[in-house]
Amino acid sequence: MRKAILRLVPPAMGSITPLNRFRRLDGSQIRAILHAVFILALMIAALATPGFLSGPALQSLLTTISFIGCVAVGMTLVTISGNILALSLGATVGASALVVIAASNRSGLAEAIPLALMFGSMVGAVQGALIGCLRANPIIVTIATSVLIYGAAQPITGNAAFYAVYPTSDSLLNARLLGMPIEFVVFVAILLICQFLLSFTVFGRNVFMVGDSFNAARAAGLRPWATIIGAYSCAGAFSAIAGIMLALRYGRASMEFGLGYDYSAIAAVLVGGTAISGGQGSAIRTFAGMMIIGIVQVVLLLQGFRQEWQYLITGVIVLGVVLLSPPAGR
Amino acid sequence: MRLLSHNQHTRPVVLLATVFACFALFDFNQGRFLSIATLTSELDTFCTIGLVALGLGATMVIGEFDLSVPGVFGMAGCIAVLSGVEHPAMGFLLAVLAGLSAGIIQGLLIHRLRLTSIGVTLGGLLITVGVAYVLTDSASIPYDNLDVALAMNDQYAGVFTSRTLMTIAVFAIVAVLASITRIGRDVVATGSDRNAALVAGVNVGGILVGIFAFSGALSAMSGALLSYSLASASPAGLSDVLVPAATAAIIGGVSLGGGTGRPLGIAAGVLTLAAFRSGFSAIGAEPWVSDITTSVALLFVSVLDAPALAGRFRRLMHLGDPADLK
């Protein structure tokens, strides 16, 4: 009897089981499900961790992600424009911090902050000019710029930190806005500016087009070099903001401030799901990536994992998220 | 200039000869650059960076990039020091096997899942750094077998150490294999045009996995040898190797676009970088002079390699058709 019924049922209908439904999903649907499962698991782990929702833990999380977050937002623009790995942004953070402390000691913060911003932007623009106008390789140019900045800083600083003559952290960065640290507010402002640029301006549209195909963008009448210079200038300026905030918080500046920021920033960009080959992504995604990495680190810390295990587990999670990203076009 | 910009094979040799000639002229008859001490220092730098540059350069030749080399380098040093006190050879072997395994896993992930090498090797970098911190409890560790450390630094013919000789031997073997076997040709073909290589019958997947395994093994070998030589290991790595190795490979004629580069060119690139560092040190210059000179040289090479340089130059000189130079 059962065999007779099965003969009447079309094979396709007869094979609809949860497992088969899962098998019929395409790659992007499976990745979306796995992403959702991962985020759900992370949220459960965070909420189940004693002390995670406490004020100090959240304040610490928001402050920590703000500095690297500014660099990551800049890295997002560069990545979407099709130029992977701006390895000079960490050096730009340190150098901008030096500029703001040195300038504020001479002429006050009102002049020092715009000067540091201009410095970061110019450093980015020069790299963007080499990459955009000459099509020089972005990895080589940014590695060389990083070595150049660290090398040039040595005779200026004598490998020592610059200290602010007047205390800076009391007046500015200990302030709170709606209970949030001021660094986080600045980071969110940068994030929104970047997302606005990407979503609602001609520059943002050009960044996506150039990242998708440099030659197609040129054939469409765009000036890809100008877009790339713009993307690197913004990345330099955003990194300078991170440097300024670090300098003001600690009342000193050192080239050690930006060490390792490049890798942390690109990890946030990748975890957020921005395409490393360019042409896709958003600043909001990078914010999500930054939050995921930050939450994982806070949860591990509160769960009593030592720092070495935090490094390892963060690495495994970054690799796991990278494995869930769509295949690269080869 | 034409030799520098158009011939990737002669460029490393021309650059190396130019750097040596400049230092020799600057140091005329003072015996600071052309001395045994400076040569020994150069060879020491060659050992630390050389093998990493060879592995990283190989990944660049196939059009990929291995970001995990500093992590593997540091992790291998820790493994060798922790496991090689009683049996140094076993410690060395374990370290190389760990690097090899890391490279194979990364290569397989990149090939099978068709992922970008930057993403996968960034994950590999973070994991190998994490493993090194876990193994050492976040502390630098001494290597108690000082006999091995002394033997590693024993000098032969006045300038060579065991480490130098092993590094030179690896370069020689790889150079011979690359020039007389199919592997070298297949590697270049894979980097030049992956689809064409596939159509021509090249085992592209095997080459990709093999090159990442090669890079991992060489980084591990270099890290283990350095740790034995300095009788210590640190999870942070005893030396920053990624930037110098990438710089040396690029100066040595490797193109990040893939399909270009030879082992002997990379050796010349490493020696050029080593000459910069040791040469400036020998003539009494501050370390930053070497950093700035190296970065300017790297920017110069990147501009020379830039695909749009000729077009921009013609436009500047009003010699070309502006229409194709937009």
A vs B: CB pairs below 8 A? 163
Is B133 close to A308, i.e. CB distance below 8 A? yes
Q: What is the dihedral of CA A192, A193, A199, A203, to 10 degrees?
A: -160
| C-alpha to C-alpha distance for A217 and A212, rounded to whole angstroms | 8
Both structure tokens of A283 = 């600043």
CA nearest to A90, candidates A263, A327, A301, A206: A263
d(CA A133, CA B312): 8
Q: Domain range for residue B73?
A: 2-287
Name the residue with tokens 């992922």: B115
What is the Rg, in whole angstroms, of the alpha carbon atoms belonging to chain B? 20
Phi, psi (rounded to 5 degrees) for A276:
-70, -20
Query: Nearest residue on chain A to B67, judged by CA atoms?
Result: A263
- Please tell me which residue of chain B has the smallest CA distance to A130: B303
**Is B140 in CB contact (< 8 Å) with chain A?**
no
> Roughly how many angstroms between the first and final C-alpha of chain A, as a whole number?
53
Phi and psi dihedrals of A51, rounded to 5?
Answer: 90, -5
Distance from CA of A154 to the nearest CA of B (A): 6
CATH class assigned to A56-323? mainly alpha
Tokens of B309: 């340089």
- Determine whether the interchain pair B133/A312 forms a contact, defined as Cβ–Cβ distance below 8 Å: yes
* Structural domain contains residue B130: yes
Task: Report the DSSP beta bridge partners of residue A180.
Answer: A177
Answer yes or no: is B205 within a domain. yes
Does residue B322 form part of some domain?
no
Q: Looking at chain B from residue 5 to 44, which residues have their Cβ under 8 Å from any Cβ of chain A?
A: none
Q: Is residue B321 in a domain?
A: no
Instruction: Please tell me if residue B302 touches chain A, with a CB cutoff of 8 Å.
Output: yes
* The two structure tokens encoding residue B222: 């270099």
More confident residue, A8 or B228: B228
- A29 CB-near residues (< 8 Å, 6+ apart): none
Query: E strands, A134-206, where?
Result: 162-163, 176-177, 180-181
Q: Do A144 and B298 touch (CB under 8 A)?
A: yes
The partner residue sitting opposite B126, judged by closest CB among A85, A135, A267, is A267
CA distance A145 to A123: 8
**Beta carbons within 8 Å of B180's beta carbon, 6+ residues apart:** none
Q: Which of B119, B125, B302 sits opposite A270 (nearest CB)?
A: B119
**A68-93 residue pLDDT tens:** 999 999 999 999 999 877 889 999 99
Within 8 A of A223 by CB-CB distance, chain B residues are 326
Phi/psi at A180 (5° precision): -100, 145
pLDDT at res. A22: 62
Å from A138 to nearest chain B CA? 9
For the whole prediction, is pTM greater than 0.90? no
N-to-C CA span, chain B: 26
State residue A173's pLDDT score: 60
- What pLDDT score does A330 carry? 46
CB A132 within 8 A of CB A229: yes
Q: Is B300 a member of any domain?
A: no
Residue A258 DSSP code:
G
Q: Using CA atoms, how far apart are residues A318 and B68, in angstroms rounded to an integer? A: 13
Is the pLDDT at A9 greater than 60, yes or no? no
- The minimal CB distance from B130 to the residues A139, A266, A312 is found for A312
Beta-carbon count within 10 A of B166 CB: 16
Reported ipTM: the value is 0.81
Supply angle C-alpha B305, B171, B108, rounded to 5. Answer: 75
Mean local confidence (pLDDT), B98-112:
95
Which phi and psi (to 5°) does residue A16 adopt? -80, 100
Rg (CA), chain A: 23
| Spatial distance between the Cα atoms of B60 and B265, rounded to a whole number of angstroms | 13
Q: In the prediction, which pLDDT does B325 show?
A: 45
B243 touches chain A (CB under 8 A): yes
B226 in any annotated domain:
yes
Q: Give the separation between CA A134 and CA A330, rounded to whole angstroms.
A: 24
Q: Is the pLDDT of residue A11 over 70?
A: no
Q: Decide: helix, strand or coil at residue A174.
A: coil
Residue A329 has pLDDT above 70, yes or no: no
Whether residues A309 and B134 touch (CB distance < 8 A) is answered with: yes
Beta-carbon contacts of residue A27 (< 8 Å; ≥ 6 apart) = A326, A327
In the structure, what pLDDT confidence band is assigned to residue B189 with cuts at 50, 70 and 90?
very high
- 3-class secondary-structure state, position A173: coil
- Whole-angstrom Cα distance, residue A211 to residue A114? 30
Scanning every residue of chain A, which has its alpha carbon at the shortest distance from the alpha carbon of B194? A330
How many domains does chain B contain in total? Answer: 1
pLDDT recorded at residue A150: 92
- At residue B89, the pLDDT reads 94
Distance CA A281, CA A226 (A): 20
Q: What DSSP state is assigned to residue A256? A: G
Among A308-322, B69-83, B267-281, name the most confident range: B69-83
* Contact of B280 with B32, CB cutoff 8 Å: no
State the Cα angle at B182 between B176 and B184, rounded to 5°: 55
In a domain, B67, yes or no: yes
User: Among B43, B47, B66, which Cα is nearest to B55's?
Assistant: B66
What does the block give as tokens for A206? Answer: 């050009």
A46-55, B31-40, B288-297, B309-318: least confident range:
B309-318
How many residues appear in chain B?
A: 326
Is residue B306 in some structural domain? no
- Helix (H) or strand (E) segment spanning residue B83: helix B69-83
Q: Are strands B232-233 and B141-142 parallel, antiparallel or unpaired?
A: antiparallel
The whole-number average pLDDT for the span B184-193 is 91
A53, burial (CB in 10 Å: exposed 0-12, middle 13-18, buried 19+): exposed
The tokens for A115 are: 């000067």
More confident residue, B101 or A33: B101
Q: Residue B275 belongs to a domain with what CATH number? A: 1.10.3470
Report the pLDDT averaged over residues A9-36.
66
Q: Out of B134, B194, B302, whose CB is closest to A330? A: B194
In whole angstroms, give the CA distance from residue A271 to residue A75.
Answer: 13
Instruction: Tell whether the model's pLDDT for residue A167 goes beyond 90.
Output: no
> Which tokens sit at A4?
């007779």
